[in-house]
A = this chain, B = another copy of it.
Amino acid sequence: MVTIRDVATAADVAVSTASRALNNNPRISQKSRDRIQLIAKDMGYRVNSNAKNLSLGESNVVGVIFPVTKVGNQENTFHIDMMRGVNKELAPRKYVMSVAMGQTDTELLSNVQAMVLEAQIHRFILLYSKKNDMVTQFLSTQNDVRYVVIGEPVDSGTQFYVNNDNVLAGFDATKFLERTYNSKHILFIKSNKNWNFEIQREHGFNHAIDELKIKRESSNLGLRHGNDNSDRLISYIKAHSNVDGVVAADDMIGFTFFNFWEKTFNKDIPVIVFNNNQLFSRMGNNNFHCVDLYPDKLGQEAAKLVFSDDTRGYIVVPHKVR
């Protein structure tokens, strides 16, 4: 392994000079910097991050925190896309990405604690937003750690958020149905999880309904994720046969609804869901629409924010109906 000492010797300078040159410190003349960097490159020099991190008291790592979810959860797709966005910002900064997961809240917290207290990680991105979250609370008490939350602002202790405008997204989705299909009896459905983003989308839906002065259908269908709700869903659909458009807060639920409707009445119903995912481009059905929330952009903006010098920030990533 070639160390900075070897580089210094080869360049006939002191280690500190080599160190500064390699870190582009302006205290070293541009000429020397170029020369030393070239020598280092020729020798195949690579920093030892452990040594560097130890010396700096901080790791070149961004901790990416996943929500506590089960195997097979479909939301997962969204999360990977966010990671991809984060990843884009890391390489130029010489940072890497570590992941914290857990099967329970405590397990997750414990992983995050190790990241802060043992691995000296000071930058985190949470791929979820949750009220009274143990992880968020822990991070907010730690000095010198900066964390960015992707999702609805729910916690006054958190200074950095990246989010879509879910109210506007719900509004746009609803207007889209009315404009495109002339729908007058639009139904809003959501999961029974009480996610904040679903509530926001419903608010947007309500605003649009009011503005358009059309009929709002009852929306208290709480489909349970991952269970078989066939009977319940079918009877629900039959009781709402007058509906001519559906805004689904959750893409999988919208998809399920769409399929059952088609099966029950043997015809399509216009459905619009949120989140983009390749599934929909392969449906091959023109009545199935999607508000693309650009998860990769969410991740990318979060990464930018976690490196910015600001003391607070709230980035809104635009969506697109299609």
Q: Which A residues lie at the B interface, using CB under 8 A?
A: 46-51, 53-54, 59, 61, 64, 71-74, 76-77, 79-81, 83-84, 87-88, 91, 94, 96-103, 107, 110-111, 114-115, 117-120, 225-230, 233, 252, 256, 259-260, 262-263, 266, 276-279, 281-285, 295-296
Contacts A77-B72, A119-B50, A233-B284 hold; do A226 and B99 have CB atoms under 8 A apart?
no
Least CB distance from A53 to B in Å reads 4
Task: Flag if B91 contacts A281 (CB, 8 Å).
Answer: no
Told that A50-B50, A80-B80 touch, could you supply 10 new A-B pairs with CB distance under 8 A? A49-B118, A49-B119, A50-B59, A50-B119, A72-B77, A72-B276, A84-B101, A97-B99, A226-B278, A227-B281
Chain B residues within 8 Å of A277, by CB:
72, 74
Contacts A53-B50, A118-B49, A266-B266 hold; do A230 and B98 have CB atoms under 8 A apart?
no
Task: Flag if B46 contacts A117 (CB, 8 Å).
Answer: yes
Task: Flag if B77 contacts A278 (CB, 8 Å).
Answer: no
Task: Flag if A114 contacts B96 (CB, 8 Å).
Answer: yes
By beta carbon, the residue of chain B nearest A295 is: B71
By beta carbon, the residue of chain B nearest A55 is: B50
Chain B residues within 8 Å of A252, by CB:
278-279, 282
Contacts A107-B91, A118-B47, A120-B48 hold; do A76 and B72 have CB atoms under 8 A apart?
no
Chain B residues within 8 Å of A281, by CB:
72, 226-228
Report the separation of the CA atoms of residues A80 and B64 in the bound assembly, to the nearest whole angstrom.
Answer: 13
By beta carbon, the residue of chain B nearest A268 is: B263
Report the separation of the CA atoms of residues A226 and B110 in the bound assembly, to the nearest whole angstrom.
Answer: 39
By beta carbon, the residue of chain B nearest A87 is: B101
Task: Flag if A50 contacts B120 (CB, 8 Å).
Answer: yes
24 pairs from A and B in contact (CB 8 Å cutoff): A48-B118, A50-B119, A54-B54, A64-B99, A72-B77, A72-B281, A73-B80, A74-B77, A74-B278, A83-B101, A84-B103, A87-B102, A94-B114, A96-B119, A98-B99, A226-B278, A226-B281, A226-B282, A228-B282, A229-B284, A252-B278, A252-B279, A262-B262, A266-B266
